[in-house]
Each structure stands twice: as structure tokens, then as C-alpha cells.
Amino acid sequence: MLTLTCPNCGISACETELAAGGEAHLTRHGPGSSDDHFEAYLFMRPNTRGVHFERWRHAAGCGKWFLAARDTATLEVFGTYSAQTTEPPADLIDKIKAKRPDWSFSS
């Protein structure tokens, strides 16, 4: 069972109380961008096995969006943080690197 702590209200919620929103930190290109950029934004996902950053909504709670870092293979949760960020917090990156020395963040 996946349990995430909502950073908005502080409640630890199991996945049945949450709604998955897909990959976090996607680059959305503006008007005039190429078809390739738009296609990449819509469809191209790495389907990562390991450390992954995701969007979640606390659907059965406060209703707000937040972001989470977890391992897709082990379900280990490294942390959650505000959806109002463009990159994961530095302390979370450091925490993940401490547990996964071979891992590096790429946006």
C-alpha cells in the first residue's frame, strides 16, 4: 500500500484517498513550438523503474495537488512537496542521493 503525506494539510493518506496525476516537472512549450515538442509533452514518458517524481491530488481530503518522489519498484517514498515548484527541493534531492548513490536528477 502506498501512503503519501499531503504537504498541504499534513495528513498521511493511502493511495485510495489520492488521485494520480502523472509525471511531475514536465516542460510545457508555448505557442509557436514545434510539433515534436508538443508530441513529447503529450506522449513521451520515460516509464522509469526507480526514482520517479509524480503529481498527486489529495482527492478525499483537502483536494489540493502536490508532488511526490518515490521509487516505482519498491514503493519507497522519499518525500512530498508543494506543487508550486518547478524542481524538487534540494534537501529532497540530497536525501534521494544518500539512499541511491548511482541516481542523478535530470529534468
Q: How many residues bind Zn ion (CB under 5 A)?
A: 6
Q: According to the binding rule CB under 5 A, does residue 9 interact with Zn ion? A: yes
Closer to Zn ion by Cβ: residue 21 or 61: 61
Site for Zn ion in 49-68 (CB under 5 A): 58, 61-62
Taking the complex as a whole, the smallest distance from the CB of residue 54 to Zn ion amounts, in Å, to: 15
Using CA atoms, how far apart are residues 43 and 55, in angstroms rounded to an integer?
Answer: 16
Is 58 in contact with 66 (CB distance < 8 Å)? yes
Using CA atoms, how far apart are residues 99 and 64, in angstroms rounded to an integer?
Answer: 29
Taking the complex as a whole, the smallest distance from the CB of residue 86 to Zn ion amounts, in Å, to: 21
Interacting residue with Zn ion among 2, 5, 8, 40 (CB under 5 A): 8
Interface region with Zn ion, contact rule CB under 5 A, candidates 1-9, 33-41, 48-56, 81-89:
1-9
Using CA atoms, how far apart are residues 93 and 4, in angstroms rounded to an integer?
Answer: 17
Per-position DSSP letters for 43-69, written without gaps between them: H-----SSEEEEEEE-TTTT--EEEEE
